[in-house]
């Protein structure tokens, strides 16, 4: 019965191989990450250097939560690193994370940047700003997100896809401030002003300004630093001014969050918490600031000088939970407006 | 089984039902095939389950807003890529197989090269070259003195048309490879007969070679279409809103895997229709070669303008589909200060090659089992299982990954619970998050590729061969070993190599399922490319291409060798 025997042998071999692999456990902490390895490597390397704990990473942009869910109690993951409150919220709703009671984390992270129930913790915040052409937009010509719908910008705005988490969070914030009807009218206005169909990522929008395709773009602020660091992209960055726009008639700029959570199964729980505390500590926070140009949540850690030189802003005081709650509405609004079409 | 396209006498024989007594050997094949097919269908079943019981039903919302747009765009993309790959693939295959013109020997293998380039990589490269700031438009502006984008019209590469062009360029080799193999395997007598009956070269191609080669060409086009249906990287980058892009929108943006699975379900309907339409249109036709007169084809010697045209027709796809993108990558890799070279590449390359080799072997073995079992007078149910098992090819890799994850983890956790209860030991996750899960996912994903190759190879072997073997007392297994496998060696290798190249390029399922600290060349490239840092990952992207070139060249040897093998017999 050759075919069946063949399958049996294959399965047996696989089981054996993985059993062997599973038993090589030293002091480790396992991380599932939505963020690219090259972005988080400096912090993780510093952690290993300091504690001797080896950090193992799986990076994926989709399916991390589904993987945690399926793996259940036997999941090897300890720590979940992600961007955007929406994904942190998804993790909580899927019941794949656990609360962490840590005086260290509580001391290092202001209350507004962590879950009241201690299930997620913010690590850095990032401002979603407007990039404006140096040549074609006068300073002060645009100061708020609301103005993006002004017909004076017709054919002059570029953005990435409307359903990207960063845009969804911004649109959700607009709904929170203005109500759904007004926010939808605003989004229609923005769509009418688009120079081209939404495409590419945040950097690509700045590039489009550099190339003269549009004059305004929405993007996260740290990309500015990343572009300055990349020879090829420096001219793009050099062609724009940074505008920290206000939202909802207030003084604050919309920010989004990169955060961390402890996986529910967490076989190396203690090491996982150590890593979380380390990431909120001075060394990692200043690495986030200096290397990735994000804003550290730990108030004891200063902004990077470079980031500071781009301008100051006050974060919008809308709660992250309110934004997370309106995400679904924001996405449906994007579909109704046919923003990406 | 009456009508057959018996164009020229005596070549296409009719299938005659095997009348030897049914043996238990046969039944065993059916059981084994059904079991394997069920295993392969397991992920699809778990996806279907997700689709039927979503956490939040957004189907009505989808239907009233974006879904119609997704469907139209997808159809247009498939029509475009279908026509493009068919025209380029069969034309070049016919020229190479039947004509002699300058450069033919080089084009013979060079036409396969674009297959080594992942669609998303070629999309990145062409965008860099053709966009506003790229060298082409900059040069045009310099020549004509245009100042801004508003002064002139230039085709937008990030568009549906652009996506069709990109995918056609890297997918036509599927059609080319299979069409060329089938043209080479056609008995030269058929063509000789058709020519003596007064067919011109063109009519011999259109009325004889093309219909005879249709099964293989159809497989090639179907593969290309499924690949295009599945593509995420290119359509995402070009903001072309196909069903696959919709799957990711709903899942990634809305956090609704159920809704994503529902859209994936619509895609599956597309594929089932595609396969059904193709099979139905030739359901009464069977072609088996009864003549073993396979002399080398002398080839029509093209001269003058015709030769130049033939050369050009073969040169363009190679130039645009391989030479140019590879050259741009090489220029970035060696000439750009942002390029990242790392000794880790060898590890990534090792992982990629290991996975690809293992997947190719497993997939070909499974495909042979299924295809051969189907030949053993399989019941309609067994046949349906086998037919369906190729469907994983059309499921977006990331969705399929979730489909694999759920049953694997359920098995692992079940076994773990059982062992804890009975023996007090924990087995943990045995299969999930291991290379085994990855290889399984690849097998489900790429089974259609090897199944197509194996089936068309098997289909060309006349049933009278196995009737003879069986009546001489061989079991089905012995018949397979001694008769079929040697005869279809070329097809097996073709299937294996196609899967190999596909696995090298696979990205989304790899991302979701791989073990800790385990990178392939594709995942490494992706982390940079997704951030528009093409220069940084150019060295690794170049390595994917180079690693893909070797099996592609081997593939050429296999296909080209088919004729010599047969001749020696």
pLDDT value at position A29?
Answer: 95
Neighbours of A44 (CB within 10 A): 23
Confidence label for B2 from pLDDT (cuts 50, 70 and 90): very low
pLDDT value at position A22?
Answer: 47
Confidence label for A10 from pLDDT (cuts 50, 70 and 90): low
- Higher-confidence residue of A303 and B527: namely A303
- Whole-number Å distance between alpha carbons of B76 and B87: 16
- Whole-number Å distance between alpha carbons of A111 and A113: 5
Q: Which of residues 152-181 of A touch B (CB under 8 A)?
A: 161, 163-165, 168
pLDDT value at position B447?
Answer: 92
**What percent of chain A shows pLDDT beyond 70?**
92
Q: Do A14 and B431 touch (CB under 8 A)?
A: yes
Alpha helices in B336-473 (DSSP H): 344-375, 380-388, 397-422, 435-459, 463-471
- Whole-number Å distance between alpha carbons of B314 and B321: 11
- pLDDT tens digits for B40-85? 888 888 888 888 877 777 888 888 888 899 999 999 999 999 999 9
First vs last C-alpha separation in chain A: 56
Cα-based distances in Å from B300 to A122, B98, B102, B241, B430? 71, 6, 12, 45, 59
Both tokens of A45, joined, read 């390397």
Q: Which of residues 354-413 of B touch A (CB under 8 A)?
A: 362, 365, 369, 398, 401-402, 405-406, 408-410, 412-413
**What percent of chain B shows pLDDT beyond 70?**
89
Q: What is the mean pLDDT of residues B393-409?
A: 83
Chain B residues within an 8 Å CB radius of A328: 56, 254
Confidence label for B287 from pLDDT (cuts 50, 70 and 90): low
pLDDT value at position A149?
Answer: 96
- Higher-confidence residue of A15 and A124: namely A124
Of A36, A60, A76, the CB nearest to B531: A36
Q: Do B530 and A165 touch (CB under 8 A)?
A: no
**What percent of chain A shows pLDDT beyond 90?**
63
B51, B264 contact by CB (below 8 A): yes
**B493 CB-contact burial (10 Å; exposed 0-12 / middle 13-18 / buried 19+):** buried
Task: Give residue limits of the domains in chain A.
Answer: 27-125+255-302, 126-254+313-337
Cα-based distances in Å from A264 to A59, A94, A98, A192? 18, 11, 5, 45
Q: Is the pLDDT of residue A246 over 80?
A: yes
- pLDDT tens digits for B79-122? 999 999 999 999 999 999 888 899 998 999 999 999 989 888 89
A307, A218 contact by CB (below 8 A): no
Q: What is the mean pLDDT of residues B432-442?
A: 90
pLDDT value at position A241?
Answer: 95
pLDDT value at position B20?
Answer: 46
**A169 CB-contact burial (10 Å; exposed 0-12 / middle 13-18 / buried 19+):** buried
Q: Is the pLDDT of residue B470 over 90?
A: no
C-alpha Rg value of chain A to the nearest Å: 22
Q: Do A38 and B527 touch (CB under 8 A)?
A: yes
Q: What is the mean pLDDT of residues B24-38?
A: 83
By DSSP bridging, strand A121-133 and strand A216-220 are antiparallel
Q: Do B255 and A90 touch (CB under 8 A)?
A: yes
ipTM surpassing 0.85: no
Distance from CA of A107 to the nearest CA of B (A): 31
A215 interfaces chain B, CB cutoff of 8 Å = no
Of B239, B430, B508, the CB nearest to A161: B239
Q: Which bin fits A316, alpha (ψ -120 to 50), beta or left (φ > 0)?
A: beta
Residue A81: which H helix or E strand, with range?
Answer: strand A79-83
Best residue in A232, A264, A336 to probe B by mutation, most B CBs within 10 Å?
A232
Question: Highest-confidence range of A132-136, A317-321, B518-522, by mean pLDDT?
Answer: A132-136
Q: Is the pLDDT of residue B9 over 80?
A: no
B15 interfaces chain A, CB cutoff of 8 Å = no
A199 interfaces chain B, CB cutoff of 8 Å = yes
Beta strands in A106-156 (DSSP E): 121-133
Q: What is the mean pLDDT of residues A321-326?
A: 88
Confidence label for B568 from pLDDT (cuts 50, 70 and 90): very low
Pick the CATH number of A27-125+255-302 from 3.40.50.10490, 3.40.50.720, 3.30.70.60, 3.40.190.10: 3.40.190.10
Rounded to two decimals, what is the model's pTM?
A: 0.80
- Whole-number Å distance between alpha carbons of B385 and A258: 46
Q: Do A22 and B429 touch (CB under 8 A)?
A: yes
Confidence label for A339 from pLDDT (cuts 50, 70 and 90): very high
Q: Answer whether CATH 3.40.190.10 is correct for domain A126-254+313-337.
A: yes
B237, B123 contact by CB (below 8 A): yes
pLDDT value at position B290?
Answer: 55
B445, B389 contact by CB (below 8 A): no
A27-125+255-302 and A126-254+313-337: same fold? Answer: yes
Of A18, A56, A161, the CB nearest to B434: A18
Question: Highest-confidence range of A42-46, B120-124, B137-141, by mean pLDDT?
Answer: A42-46
Q: Is the pLDDT of residue A282 over 60?
A: yes
pLDDT value at position B286?
Answer: 59
B141 interfaces chain A, CB cutoff of 8 Å = no
Q: Is the pLDDT of residue B186 over 90?
A: no
Q: What is the residue-wise DSSP string for A7-46?
A: HHHHHHHHHHHHHHHHT---SEEEEEESS-HHHHHHHHHH
B318, B114 contact by CB (below 8 A): yes
Q: Any bridge partners for residue A194, and if so which?
A: A157
B36 interfaces chain A, CB cutoff of 8 Å = yes
B487 interfaces chain A, CB cutoff of 8 Å = no
B124 interfaces chain A, CB cutoff of 8 Å = no
Chain A residues within an 8 Å CB radius of B416: 74
Alpha helices in B131-254 (DSSP H): 135-144, 160-185, 188-196, 201-203, 210-230, 233-238, 243-248
pLDDT value at position B10?
Answer: 37
**B116 CB-contact burial (10 Å; exposed 0-12 / middle 13-18 / buried 19+):** buried
> What is the overall mean pLDDT for chain B?
81
Kindly tell me the sign of the dihedral angle through the C-alpha atoms of A210, A213, A218, A223: negative
Distance from CA of A71 to the nearest CA of B (A): 5
- Determine the 3-state secondary structure of B134 from DSSP: coil
For chains A and B, what is the number of CB pairs under 8 angstroms?
Answer: 189
Q: What is the residue-wise DSSP string for A155-182?
A: T-EE---TTSHHHHHHHHHHHHHH-HHH
Best residue in A1, A6, A18, A133 to probe B by mutation, most B CBs within 10 Å?
A18
């Amino acid at each position: 019965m050759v075919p069946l025997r063949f399958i049996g042998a294959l399965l047996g071999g696989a089981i054996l191989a993985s059993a062997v692999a599973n038993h090589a456990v030293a002091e480790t902490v396992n991380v599932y990450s939505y963020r690219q390895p090259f972005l988080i490597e400096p912090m993780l390397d510093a952690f290993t250097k300091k504690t001797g704990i080896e950090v193992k990473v799986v990076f994926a942009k989709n399916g991390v939560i589904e993987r945690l869910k399926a793996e259940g109690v036997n999941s090897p993951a300890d720590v979940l690193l992600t961007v955007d409150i929406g994904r942190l919220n998804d993790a909580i709703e899927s019941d794949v994370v656990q609360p962490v009671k840590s005086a260290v984390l509580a001391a290092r992270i202001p209350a507004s940047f962590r879950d009241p129930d201690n299930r997620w913790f913010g690590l850095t915040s990032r401002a979603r700003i407007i990039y404006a052409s140096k040549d074609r937009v006068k300073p002060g010509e645009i100061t708020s997100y609301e103005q993006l719908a002004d017909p004076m910008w017709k054919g002059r705005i570029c953005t990435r896809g409307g359903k990207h988490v960063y845009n969804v969070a911004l649109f959700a914030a607009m709904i929170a401030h203005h109500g759904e009807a007004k926010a939808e009218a605003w989004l229609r206005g923005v769509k009418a002003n688009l120079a081209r169909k939404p495409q590419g990522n945040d950097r690509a929008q700045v590039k489009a300004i550099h190339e003269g395709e549009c004059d305004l773009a929405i993007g996260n602020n740290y990309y500015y630093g990343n572009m300055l660091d990349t020879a090829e992209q420096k001219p793009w960055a050099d062609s724009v001014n940074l505008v920290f726009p206000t939202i909802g008639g207030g003084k604050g700029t919309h920010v989004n969050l990169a955060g961390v959570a402890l996986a529910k199964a967490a076989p190396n729980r203690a090491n996982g918490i150590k890593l979380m505390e380390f990431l909120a500590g001075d060394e990692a926070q200043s690495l986030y600031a200096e290397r990735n140009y994000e804003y550290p949540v730990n108030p004891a850690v200063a902004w990077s000088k470079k980031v500071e030189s781009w301008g100051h802003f006050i974060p919008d005081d809308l709660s992250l939970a309110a934004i997370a709650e309106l995400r679904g509405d924001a996405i449906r609004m994007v579909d109704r407006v046919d923003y990406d079409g | 089984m009456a009508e057959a396209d018996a164009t020229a006498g005596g070549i296409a024989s009719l299938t005659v039902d095997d009348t030897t007594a049914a043996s238990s050997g046969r039944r065993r094949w059916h059981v084994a095939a059904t079991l394997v097919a069920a295993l392969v269908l397991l992920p699809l079943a778990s996806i279907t389950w997700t689709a039927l019981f979503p956490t939040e039903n957004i189907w009505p919302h989808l239907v009233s807003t974006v879904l119609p747009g997704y469907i139209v765009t997808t159809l247009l993309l498939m029509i475009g890529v279908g026509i493009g790959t068919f025209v380029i693939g069969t034309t070049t295959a016919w020229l190479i197989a039947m004509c002699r013109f300058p450069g033919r020997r080089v084009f013979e293998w060079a036409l396969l090269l674009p297959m080594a380039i992942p669609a998303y990589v070629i999309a990145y490269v062409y965008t860099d070259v053709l966009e506003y700031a790229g060298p082409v438009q900059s040069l045009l502006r310099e020549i004509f003195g245009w100042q801004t984008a508003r002064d002139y019209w230039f085709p937008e590469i990030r568009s549906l048309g652009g996506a069709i062009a990109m995918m056609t360029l890297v997918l036509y080799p599927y059609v080319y490879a299979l069409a060329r193999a089938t043209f080479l395997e056609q008995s030269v007598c058929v063509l000789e007969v058709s020519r003596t009956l007064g067919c011109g070269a063109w009519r011999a191609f259109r009325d004889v070679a093309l219909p005879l080669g249709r099964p293989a060409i159809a497989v090639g086009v179907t593969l290309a279409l499924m690949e295009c249906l599945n593509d995420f990287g290119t359509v995402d980058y070009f903001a072309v809103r196909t069903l696959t892009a919709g799957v990711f929108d709903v899942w990634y943006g809305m956090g609704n895997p159920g809704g994503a699975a529902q859209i994936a379900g619509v895609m599956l309907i597309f594929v089932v229709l595609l396969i059904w339409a193709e099979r139905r249109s030739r359901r009464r036709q069977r072609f088996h070669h009864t003549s073993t007169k396979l002399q080398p084809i002398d080839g029509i010697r093209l001269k003058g303008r015709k030769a130049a045209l033939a050369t050009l027709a073969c040169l363009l796809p190679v130039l645009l589909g391989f030479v140019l993108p590879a050259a741009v990558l090489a220029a970035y890799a060696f000439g750009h200060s942002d390029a990242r070279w790392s000794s880790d590449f060898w590890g990534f390359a090792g992982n990629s090659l290991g996975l690809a080799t293992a997947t190719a072997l497993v997939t070909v073995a499974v495909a042979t089992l299924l295809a051969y079992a189907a030949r053993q007078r399989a019941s309609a149910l067994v046949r349906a299982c086998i037919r369906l098992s190729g469907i994983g090819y059309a499921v977006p890799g990331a969705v399929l990954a979730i489909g694999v994850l759920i049953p694997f983890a359920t098995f692992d956790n079940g076994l773990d619970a059982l062992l804890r209860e009975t023996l007090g030991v924990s087995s943990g996750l045995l299969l999930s998050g291991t290379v085994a899960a990855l290889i399984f996912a690849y097998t489900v994903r790429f089974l259609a590729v090897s199944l197509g190759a194996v089936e068309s190879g098997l289909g060309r072997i006349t049933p009278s061969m196995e009737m003879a073997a069986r009546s001489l007392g061989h079991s089905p297994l012995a018949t397979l070993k001694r008769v079929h496998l040697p005869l279809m060696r070329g097809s097996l290798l073709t299937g294996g190599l196609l899967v190999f190249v596909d696995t090298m390029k696979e990205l989304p399922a790899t991302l979701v399922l791989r073990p800790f600290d385990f990178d392939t060349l594709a995942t490494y490239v992706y982390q940079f490319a997704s951030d528009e840092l093409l220069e940084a990952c150019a060295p690794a992207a170049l390595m994917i291409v180079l690693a893909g070139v070797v099996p592609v060249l081997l593939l050429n040897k296999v296909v080209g060798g088919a004729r010599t093998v047969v001749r020696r017999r």
